[in-house]
Each structure stands twice: as C-alpha cells, then as structure tokens.
Structure 1
Amino acid sequence: MGFRNLVLLVLLMQAGPALSTSTMRCGHNIVELGDDTYKVLETCGEPASIYHRTKIVGSTLHHPRRTLDIEEYEEIQVEEWVYDFGRNRIRQSLLFENGRMVEINDLKRSR
C-alpha cells in the first residue's frame, strides 16, 4: 500500500461516526459495560437525551420434514442515552439493553 493510500485510510478511519469503548468517565468516576441504568444515572447524572425502542431477536428451527417448527423470539428494551459534556468535548452515546449497558460510543464534538 502506498503512502498516499495509507494516509487516506487513516483519515477515513478517523472520520467514522463513532468509536466504541468499554468505559466512560463522569467527573472523577467511571462507568463501564455491564453497569445498570441506576448506577449510570447516579454516577453521571441525567443525559442530554434518551431514545427508546424495542428490538426483537430470535430464530425459527425447522424440522427437515416440516412436521415441527419451533420459534423462539425475545423482546429487548433498548435505550440510547446521549451525554453532552459541553463545548469542545466528545459527546458519548450509551446503549442499554434491558437495563444493562452494552455499548459506549464516542460521537462528534459539541460546537
């Protein structure tokens, strides 16, 4: 790979919409993947915004002779909390599934 292509690749990677991490600092405290909404709320305070949705996951098992189909589906409550720590700081998006934090993403900086 030539130098020009390498530079382009690095720039594209930096321009991505979000970077995933496993912890987030709130003042002098840290929250991490697996923490529940109550701990995050107590540690970090109210987020700037909260988005709610429901996700359905599961599968259907088909018997080869089609005499039996088994369907297993689960409804998961998903919340996305966005923290805005002020001017020129990285905003953070926290994703919760059934009340447990499963993902932390860095968003664009506030202006």
Structure 2
Amino acid sequence: MKHVNLWISLLCLLFSGTASALRCGHSLVNVGDYKDEVYAKCGEPDSVALRTKIEGITLHHPNRTLDLQQYEEVQVEEWIYNFGSSRLRQYLRFENGQLIEIRDLGRGD
C-alpha cells in the first residue's frame, strides 16, 4: 500500500499545473529563457497581455530617523499558446523580458 501511495504522489507531481519547460516542435523552452528565444522556438502567441508592476521595499530605522525606499518598475508580459485540442494551452509569464513561469491552462480548442 505504501508503494501505491508513493506512485500516486509522484504522478500528481508530474501532472501538476506548473512546469519549468515547454516543448515547441523539436525545441525546448525553459524558465529563464528570454522573449526572443521563446518567440523563435514557438512562434507568435495566441494572445499577449502587457502590464507594469512596481516591486520594492521600505526599510525603517527603529528610531524613525531614516526611512529608505527602494522600488523598481517591472515590465510583465503574459503569453498564451493554444496548440490545439490534442495539447494543453500554455501560459507564459515574462518579467523584464525573461521567462519566469510556465503553466498549463487545460485543453486547447
């Protein structure tokens, strides 16, 4: 019974929604790749959403004599590929041109 539970756990990990790689034809796209590399391997995405987010921190001195603020503007692009009904749709998120996340979205059309 322990072996069955182990196999079920391993299969759940294999088929979870988040991935670190995506196959496009004979090429493999990995988290960490840049937009132009992904475009060259996979072609035009079915949809693209652009937005900007602000990331940062504020450091407070215990006596409140000094507050340091450090913020950065991050360009976010979200691409969706629909490879058809035989494959899962793919969500790709880029931050400042670098691939940060690959996620399965379910069956394509």
Whether the TM-score (by the shorter chain) exceeds 0.5 is yes
1:18-97 aligned within 5 A: 19-97=17-95
Distance 1:102 1:80 in 2: 10
Over 4 Å off, 4+ runs: none
> What is the percent sequence identity of the aligned residues?
54
Cα deviation for residue 55 of structure 1 reads: 1.3
Q: TM-score, normalised by structure 1?
A: 0.81
Distance 2:85 2:107 in 1: 8
Aligned residues: 97
Cα deviation for residue 88 of structure 1 reads: 3.3
Q: Give the counterpart letter for 2:21 in structure 1.
A: T
Q: Secondary structure at the match of 2:41?
A: helix
Q: TM-score, normalised by structure 2?
A: 0.83
Distance 2:50 2:17 in 1: 21
Mind listing any 5+ residue stretches in structure 2 that lack a counterpart? 1-8
Q: CA RMSD in A?
A: 1.7
Distance 1:70 1:83 in 2: 41
Cα deviation for residue 34 of structure 1 reads: 0.6
Distance 1:58 1:31 in 2: 29
Mind listing any 5+ residue stretches in structure 1 that lack a counterpart? 1-9
